[in-house]
Amino acid sequence: MKPPEWFLLDKSESVCKLGCMSKENFNGTPMMIEISISNDGIVQLSVAGKLIDLSQFYISSKLVFSVNSINALFRCLKIVSVCQGYHDKNKEQPFTFFNDKYMKEVCIVQKDAEPKVVIRHINCYKVVPIGSVSHTCKRCIKCKSRRNERMKQKQLGKKENENPLPGCNQFNDIRSVLSNIAPNLTENQHTLLCSQIMASNLKKIVMV
């Protein structure tokens, strides 16, 4: 007997298709979980149209028909959990990098639960590994490392702006003095003289 949350989608001489809606919904729409059982016992599971590898949940794709085997199949399907996307809890520096790979959605896990904004990969695996604490598939969780990389790049760029390369301050100081002493020099002449003075100072330091 099928559990009450499962309903008949299609039935023919060769295959029977059953479906149920996920408890999670994204932007107000739950995912369709579909299972098909052929008359020769081949079992296929799909979530939101994506075919799922049953072996990762230790579920056989070949069914021997009996009352117990059908019941056992639906019990095993309870361990299959839908990916809820990556919930970025960093409100001070939220994930802002979006392109053709990532999208932002509003996820509600259960009825009356507080909605949360999540980031999902367009090629989300749809399901998570057994025992997953984050409820996020390996593909969607990558946006976390992507965000961290961009944060590091921004911090590095900020430090570089705060701490210019050695010699920049000296070059600007010499240029300022030359501009006051010889205001009629061209831009190229200023640059050439500054470079020569800095090279001369560096040579003295090396000799010492």
Separation between Cα atoms, residue 182 and residue 58, nearest integer Å: 82
**What range does the domain containing 177 cover?**
168-207
pLDDT of residue 161: 55
Please indicate, yes or no, if residue 114 is contained in any of the structural domains.
Answer: yes
> Residue 49 falls within a domain, yes or no?
yes
Name the token pair of 27.
């932007």
Amino acid identity, residue 35? I
Q: Is residue 76 part of a domain?
A: yes
Shared-domain flag, residues 105 and 124: yes
54: closest CA among 66, 67, 65, 41?
41
Residue 151 is assigned to a structural domain of this protein: yes
Considering its fold, how many domains does the chain have in total?
3
C-alpha distances out from residue 30 to 2, 99, 102, 125, Å: 20, 24, 19, 16
Instruction: Take residue 191 and report the two structure tokens written for it.
Output: 């640059």
- Would you say residue 134 lies in a domain? yes
- The sign of the torsion formed by the CA atoms of 29, 120, 20, 3 equals negative
Residue 74 domain flag: yes
In this structure, are residues 23 and 34 in contact, taking their beta carbons and an 8 Å threshold? Answer: no
For residue 124, with 0-12 CB atoms within 10 Å meaning exposed, 13-18 middle and 19 or more buried, which class applies? buried
pLDDT at 208: 39
Q: What is the pLDDT of residue 206?
A: 38
Please state, in angstroms and rounded to a whole number, the distance separating the CA atoms of residues 47 and 30. Answer: 11
Same domain, 142 and 90: yes
Instruction: Tell me if 70 is assigned to some domain.
Output: yes
Asked if residues 6 and 19 have their Cβ atoms less than 8 Å apart, the reply is yes
Cβ–Cβ contacts within 10 Å for residue 83, how many? 27
Single residue among 28, 53, 81 that ends a domain in this structure? 81
* Alpha carbons 21 and 92: distance in angstroms, whole number: 35
136 CB-contact burial (10 Å; exposed 0-12 / middle 13-18 / buried 19+)? buried
For each of the chain's 208 residues, which pLDDT tens digit applies?
A: 678 999 999 999 999 999 999 999 999 999 999 999 999 999 999 999 999 999 999 999 999 888 788 889 999 999 999 999 988 776 655 555 556 788 888 899 877 778 888 988 999 999 999 988 889 999 998 877 666 666 566 556 555 555 544 445 566 666 677 677 767 777 777 677 777 776 676 444 434 3
Residue 65: per-residue pLDDT: 85
Neighbouring C-beta atoms of residue 117, cutoff 10 Å: 13
Residues 95, 143 within the same domain: yes
Name the residue with tokens 């008949």. Answer: 8
Q: What is residue 67's predicted lDDT score, i.e. its pLDDT?
A: 77
Instruction: Pick left, alpha or beta for residue 38 (phi over 0 → left; psi -120 to 50 → alpha; otherwise beta).
Output: beta
Q: Would you say residue 144 lies in a domain?
A: yes
